[in-house]
Amino acid sequence: MAYLDTTARIRRTIIADLDLLPAENYKKTLAAGVDAFDIGDSFCSDETGEMRRYERIAAAPGYADLGDRAAPANKNMVEANRIAAAASAEALSRDLEVARQDALTSTSALAKLTNDALISISQRAGALGAGTNATQAVNYAALTKLLNTPGVSPIVLDRAYYDIGPNSLRVSVKKTEVWGAPGGTTITCSVLKLLEFLSIEDLHFYDINWVSTYESLADEATYALVCGIHRAIRNMTMNRCTFSIAKANANALKFVADIDGEYVEQVKFNDCHILAAGRMGAELSVHPNTLTIPGTNQKYPNDAVARIDTFEWNGGSIKNTGLISPLYGMAFSGTGWMNRIRVATRLDNNMTCGVEGVGICNSYISVQITNMRDVANSLTPSAAISLTANAELDRSRKMTGNIVENCIADDGTCREVRFWYQQGLQTRGNRFKLSAGSTGRGYVTYAGSTLCKSSNDAYDCDGAYTLQVRSEAAHGGASAFNEWEGLSLSHARSTSPFQLTNFYGADTTGNSINGILYTPSTLYPSQPLSAGQAEATITGSITGTTLTVTAWSGIPLRVGQKLFGNVIDALTEIKALDGTGTGGLGTYTVSKSQNAGSDTIKVGLAQKNFIRGSIRSTYGFDFMTNTYTIGDFSVDATLLDSVPHMLASRNLTIRTSGSLTAVRSIIFPEGGPAQRITNSTTGGFAIILKNKTAGSTVTIPNGATVNVASTSAGFVIIP
């Protein structure tokens, strides 16, 4: 025997080359008390008792899988199986799925296939929304009986439209399939909840359109068009279904699992479409019992007993959310203890946010979106993806193991992408086109995130930054040891200069960008590569290795902080607090001996972040622009062996943004030894070129071009 397992625990028995035996033999078998039939002996017959042979026949469902033997659910189903097979003989020679559909929708087969289990409704509801009260009552009674008939599978709806009026379908059933009519069956109601799941297991819907005409501006956050609230829901699928609740301030879907044992497990939506929702598209929620206790470090009591495990949205789309309440217009939102959440769909016209995860722990959210657009909201900065912290959760409960890949948000309506409070986040192959708009933002932010890995992502932004990495207590503390590989950054749409990257905060450390492909703006081809906010600003001077601070503002000074200013040598840092200073005014020991007069000095981070590898830029058909700006590295974002300059003229313009540009190293691959610029300051100070090959030119900050004619001990001093 061979069988096709189309859904978990529900079998389709496929019998090849089946001999149909005379009816009397079949009846004698039943009379003898045999309640299972042998596939090889084929105790089946048509009404005439004529011997027939078909190449393929699909036994009607209702049989449990017993290996080589199949037990009928009841005698009626056995008889129905025989009738359905005979009635569909011609169709059964075609493709299996087509044959099965034909058999199940055959009028004569249906009448005997289901007996009392399937109620054939003679009344017709008429035009959409115009059903009579009598029709609605019959429809509701019939559908309720159908959907709650245990052990009958499949249930086949025999009409294309049902109007159940002011009623809600409440379902509590196991091992059941519900099929719409060919082309889909539409079920409408005029209340908030159309379908509410109680306790269900192995329930599968196919080709049904769920529509509510309910109208309400009040926030209907508790329930939804289709919902399962505090109920055990296991192994449920919706296949090729649609959902619409456009005129009510409510979600299309909502699942909540807060109670011990009432898990939501193995719930999948395959090729489904949310067409409209006044509030969110799909919402998942697990509320820890102690969520309202800020700063608690204890294990949340119901972490192990309340959960949503394996929820998938595969294919289809989620469109037009937040039509009534744009502030809650997320396409998909998840909160609480979840595991293996996958969203792989198309998002279109979603207010506020595309995919949101708030305070989720052990989430493993996988976002795989083919296309996302029109995620916009004038009330608040909207996000294409927002995986964020809940302010009431302690830092030890970061969201772990999430994956965002192949997400395309490329129409420029999204405001930002937030990756906050993440640990081990993996992003790869994403393309985010973000616009600041009137609400600001317009960039990708990592906050309080650690050990995240980005591969071949592309950010096209026009905000204050392209990539910001920051640490703040409200966002989980440190942003440390994150890595970006092969990052594409674009300012092609920008109308004013702004930073490519920004590292901010005392705990921002160990982050690295390995390789950048930069596309500049045509209006501003020179823009700062990286910059950040200084931790402190001082007025001071240096004599030898002694720093004297006469004015100070910001955080206390400490060992390892970098000093930046017009009078300060590059790579100078505070080496020891062994003078009179204890974090403010006084004297300190610095790492490099120099003589620098009193001036304003910016104090950057003690920790280091790195930009490594080749930094390439595209401009028109040129490999790199005529100018390249290296920004103010107040936070010590370090360029290591970077920025290959590929123009034939071998020219480079070094500009300053702020009081000092501290360039660690720039490589010029000219066929000879590499040129390194180890110190670049404003006009009047030297640019030192290490190992510069003679015969090329360099443009210095004041715009003059200097021809490099010779070298001196490997150095060229350009005044």
Q: Tell me, what's the pLDDT at 268?
A: 96
697 in Cβ contact with 718 (< 8 Å): no
pTM value is: 0.65
Residue 191 pLDDT level (bands cut at 50, 70, 90): very high
Taking the C-alpha atoms of residue 527 and residue 629, their distance in angstroms, rounded to an integer, is: 5
* Residue of higher predicted confidence among 107 and 141: 141
What average pLDDT does the structure give for the chain?
A: 66
The pLDDT, as a whole number, for residue 441 is 73
For range 594-618, the mean pLDDT: 68
**In angstroms, rounded to a whole number, what is the distance separating the alpha carbons of residues 319 and 521?**
33
Are the CB atoms for 313 and 342 separated by under 8 Å? yes
Half-sphere exposure of residue 135, counting CA atoms within 13 Å on the CB side? 18
Pick the closest to residue 151 from 175, 170, 172, 171 (CA basis).
Answer: 175
What's the pLDDT score for residue 546? 95
In 146-167, which positions are buried (b, 16+ CB within 10 angstroms) versus exposed (e)? bbebeebbbbbbbbebbbbbeb
* pLDDT, mean of residues 253-257: 91
The answer, yes or no, to whether residue 68 has pLDDT greater than 60, is no
Please, which residues have CB within 8 angstroms of residue 334's CB and are 6 or more apart in sequence? Answer: 283, 284, 285, 308, 341, 356, 357, 358, 360, 363, 365
pLDDT for 409 equals 80
CB within 8 Å of 431: residues ≥ 6 apart: 407, 408, 409, 410, 457, 458, 460
Higher pLDDT pick, 651 / 422 = 422
Task: Specify the pLDDT at position 64.
Answer: 30
Check residue 351 and give its pLDDT. Answer: 82
135 or 99, higher pLDDT: 135
Distance CA 385, CA 357 (A): 8
Residue-wise pLDDT for 459-504, tens only, equals 998 877 788 888 766 555 778 889 999 889 888 887 776 777 777 7
Write down the pLDDT at residue 519: 78
pLDDT > 50? residue 82: no
CA torsion sign for 311, 317, 321, 323 is: negative
Give residue-wise pLDDT tens across range 111-125.
333 333 333 332 223
Report whether pLDDT(127) > 60: no
- The pair of three-digit structure tokens given for residue 430, joined into one six-digit string: 């994403």
pLDDT surpasses 70 at 129: no
| Cα 415 to the center of its chain, rounded Å | 15
Task: Render pLDDT for 675-707 as a digit per residue (tens, 0 to 9).
Answer: 333 333 333 333 444 334 444 444 444 444 444
CB 540 within 8 A of CB 601: yes
Residue 612's alpha-carbon distances to 397, 616, 640, 650, 666, in angstroms, are 31, 12, 5, 22, 11
CA max distance for the chain: 113
Residues 319 and 273: beta-carbon distance below 8 Å: yes
pLDDT at 408 over 50: yes
What was the pLDDT predicted at 434?
86
Q: Are strands 169-171 and 536-554 parallel, antiparallel or unpaired?
A: unpaired
Identify the CA nearest to 349 among candidates 403, 276, 293, 285. 276
DSSP reduced 3-state for 475: helix
pLDDT at position 143 is 85
Least confident of 279-293, 380-394, 512-526, 582-596: 380-394
Is residue 243 predicted with pLDDT exceeding 90? yes
**pLDDT tens, position by position, 536-594:** 889 999 999 999 999 998 888 888 777 876 677 766 889 999 889 988 999 999 998 98
pLDDT tens per residue, range 205-219: 999 999 999 999 998
Which has the closest alpha carbon to 62: 44, 78, 84? 78
pLDDT category, 266, cuts 50, 70, 90?
Answer: very high
User: Model confidence at 439, in pLDDT bands (50, 70, 90)?
Assistant: low
Contact, 674 vs 668, CB < 8 A?
Answer: yes
Is the sign of the CA dihedral 240, 333, 199, 312 positive or negative?
positive
Q: Where are the domains of the chain?
A: 2-114, 536-603
pLDDT of res. 510: 80
